[in-house]
Chains A and B, each alone.
Chain A
Amino acid sequence: DAGVIQSPRHEVTEMGQEVTLRCKPISGHDYLFWYRQTMMRGLELLIYFNNNVPIDDSGMPEDRFSAKMPNASFSTLKIQPSEPRDSAVYFCASTLDGEKLFFGSGTQLSVL
């Protein structure tokens, strides 16, 4: 199995631009999580899906952030407009039946 696949690996953009991060979970996993990691705040849960349905988005910082999961093999996290304080590593993780999380390699986002 290829594991959780995220793209892009690195993203550098200017403030105000739209950013879209992508994730392909492990085949057969029914839960998908988006986390953000910074030095100051560590790993923060943004949103998670079960069977493609958003279950808890209470961690999404503000309306500039949105996430979708149109099917079992694909999810996006969008930031529009982006701001410098959004700079972080964004991880996608998936799990079967809510057991241990398997993480993707992350997207390093830099907003200038």
Chain B
Amino acid sequence: EDKVVQSPLSLVVHEGDTVTLNCSYEVTNFRSLLWYKQEKKAPTFLFMLTSSGIEKKSGRLSSILDKKELFSILNITATQTGDSAVYLCAAKYNFNKFYFGSGTKLNVKP
């Protein structure tokens, strides 16, 4: 059965902390792994990863994929209150289907 599992389910940190969010996947015909940030309503795109070991970076956020161990991590350094959101990962599989994990709810306190 196809699945995407994220951990932890929720996380509370203080501004300035570094956090690591985890995503493991088991899907048929895996194509890529995507990360999204969901604040109020619509998830917004962060990263798409297709190759193992190549880190993608955008400011304080970075992500990497391990296709052998079937997982990805999203790192956020020097967290800010504006980083508070639900972070979703999704596995693209079977050509063009996207299977989402249940998300990690991050709360950054001042």
Contacts and interface: CB of A to CB of B under 8 A. Distances in A.
Given A42-B103, A43-B88, A101 B42 contact: no
Interface string B67-100: 0000000000000000000001010100111111
A100 B101 contact: no
A89 B96 contact: no
B100 A106 contact: no
Given A42-B103, A105-B42, A98 B96 contact: yes
Contacts of A102: 45
Contacts of A98: 92, 95-96
B43 to A, nearest CB: 5
Given A99-B48, A100-B34, A106 B96 contact: no
A56 B98 contact: no
Q: Say what secondary structure dominates the interface of chain A.
A: strand
Interface string B33-63: 0100000011111001000000000000000
A100 B96 CA distance: 10
Q: Which of A31, A45, A89, A104 has the most CB of B within 10 A?
A: A45
Contact of B99 (A31, A45, A104): A45
Contacts of B42: 91, 103-106
B96 A105 contact: no
A55 B102 CA distance: 24
A46 B13 CA distance: 35
A99 B96 CA distance: 8
Interface in A4-42: 31, 33, 35, 42
Contact of A42 (B96, B97, B98, B102): B102
Given A45-B98, A50-B96, A89-B41, 13 more contacts: A42-B102, A42-B103, A43-B88, A45-B97, A55-B96, A91-B42, A98-B96, A99-B48, A100-B48, A101-B45, A101-B98, A105-B41, A106-B42
Closest 9 CB pairs of A and B: A98-B96, A43-B100, A42-B102, A103-B42, A106-B41, A105-B41, A105-B42, A100-B45, A103-B43
